[in-house]
Structure 1
């Protein structure tokens, strides 16, 4: 919802009319493709998940197949059903450009772990995930609302694309031991923990510095740029914990992966709210349905986020065996 909402809000900010049908169609496609990816990963990552002794709520798979609660074929079957649903939705999209974007999303998402490409087994998963979710995701939503994006919209997408790439690097760092033992050559395995942490710190520093420069030079509107910069405390906190080797300690590793993951929807929410506010306070206002839908989306995310903060992480297998 936050990915699609960012793209639609950017289109509204540019003055394009709101299309409720394609907003719902983009959500259907996005949810189908995203769930497809999870079920596909559960099946093709099963060996790596079994070898992972320190899973978190955000890494190491759902543990459903690892714990034998369902046969692996159920996960693969669900992935194929969702692939069919997403592909059917893509086929109905109104122009060649949007259909090509949707097909690219599905191909990169499926082959993230599926053979023969297995992108996340060849240090390409991080960039593939970033391109699918926070790259092509908001651009497809924008395309279905209003056509070609402006330079400012492309800049917002580029910023969240980089953050998603860095976030996925942290996710794979959390899984590094299980991945190494099963021949899964992620970027974390390729660079090693120290190299990956340096990449995360350098990437975050460059991204936020570039945003500050774009703000000071007037290249980006003030409100969206300031909203983006306001999320800086999250990567600062994550970066500090990474340098303290928090991912190697059960209990603290879940907090690191949680906040590294939350950095993305929080940033998307901040940009969405800033773009919507900028348009509402301008000379021309967005179409009436969208501010209401957007507000409901942000409230739903805030409610989910609050609940997530209050929910303790699941106990790891090692912890469960030590319980009297």
Structure 2
């Protein structure tokens, strides 16, 4: 059970949905779809997820010991502060996941004719290293939210697209802008409950640098921009999933306004309500867009 807890399976939605979104775009632009490549892309996602959660738990082990108010969305898995696993075991698991990611993506490149796959794996490892480890360690120095934005909003959709389409030849790079916005918002949201603990640990997350209220507005605005930008950019689109999903997401964001003024980390109930509403809007957008794209018939 300790390893399952360390794996943080609930957080996998942040990996799986961007992968599905990328595959949906591959189908919409090329007509390609294979259940085999669907499985391979999500195997990549599982391994990169395990690398992220294990490597972050090890990097944040000292800060997590100082955090006495962790939540379901923040504060790490708690297996190290609680003594359920040793730092050496988590470090070895992170290293093993990184090696498996690179070797597996190399096999995809060789046997599956996707030569860019190892590059995406190495970029994934590099982003996590820059986020949590020296010399950059941007989650502590500040602006680490942009690394998560690029990782979940651009790299993972690119993985999904590549594995289905076989190349990036028809990939619309503008389609990554909205997921990048959602990735940044997600980082800010999960940092909100840990603001005081992060401040004590000298971890300069956006809520620590800007204050909690401004951080909440930042997450809300980035999610709203992600919701409306595709609609404004494709005014001729009539697919109901494409049109209705942003409306429902915007309704969730509207509901979050009831919490935005009082959802400090000290008010745990309001803080979590705000996080679930805004994060739910972001996840709904990725899901709805993916359904719309899978319904699209390539010309």
How does the TM-score come out when normalised to structure 1?
0.77
Aligned to 1:195: 214
Residues 132 and 82 of structure 1: is their aligned pair in 2 closer, same or farther, counting only changes over 3 Å? Answer: same
Q: State which of 151, 165, 168 in structure 2 corresponds to 1:148.
A: 168
**Superposition misfits of 4+ residues, deviation over 4 angstroms:** 220-224
Q: State which of 269, 273, 289 in structure 2 corresponds to 1:271.
A: 289
Aligned to 1:213: 232
Contact 1:33–1:109 (8 Å) recurs in 2: no
CA RMSD in angstroms comes to 2.4
Name the SS for the 2:131 alignment partner: coil
- Counterpart CA distance in 2 for 1:202 and 1:11 is 28
Q: Give CA deviations for 1:190-225 in whole Å, capped at 9, x if unaligned.
A: 112233233234333433343342243x3x665454
Contact 1:49–1:61 (8 Å) recurs in 2: yes
Q: State which of 249, 255, 258 in structure 1 corresponds to 2:276.
A: 258
Greater C-alpha Rg: 1
Structure 2, unmatched stretches of 5+, are 1-15
Aligned to 2:144: 125
Structure 1, unmatched stretches of 5+, are 285-324
Q: State which of 25, 43, 50 in structure 2 corresponds to 1:28.
A: 43
Do structure 1's residue 83 and structure 2's residue 98 form an aligned pair?
Answer: yes
Residues 263 and 86 of structure 1: is their aligned pair in 2 closer, same or farther, counting only changes over 3 Å? Answer: farther
Aligned to 1:138: 157
Aligned to 1:299: none
- Counterpart CA distance in 2 for 1:197 and 1:278 is 35
- Counterpart CA distance in 1 for 2:278 and 2:65 is 23
Q: Give CA deviations for 1:22-69 in whole Å, capped at 9, x if unaligned.
A: 332222221111111101111111222222232110101112211122
Residues 20 and 114 of structure 1: is their aligned pair in 2 closer, same or farther, counting only changes over 3 Å? Answer: same
Aligned to 2:82: 67
Aligned to 1:45: 60
Residues 145 and 221 of structure 1: is their aligned pair in 2 closer, same or farther, counting only changes over 3 Å? Answer: farther
How does the TM-score come out when normalised to structure 2?
0.83
Contact 2:61–2:80 (8 Å) recurs in 1: yes
Aligned to 1:13: 28
Q: Give CA deviations for 1:53-90 in whole Å, capped at 9, x if unaligned.
A: 32110101112211122222221111111111111112
Give the number of equivalent residue pairs.
278
Contact 1:160–1:267 (8 Å) recurs in 2: no
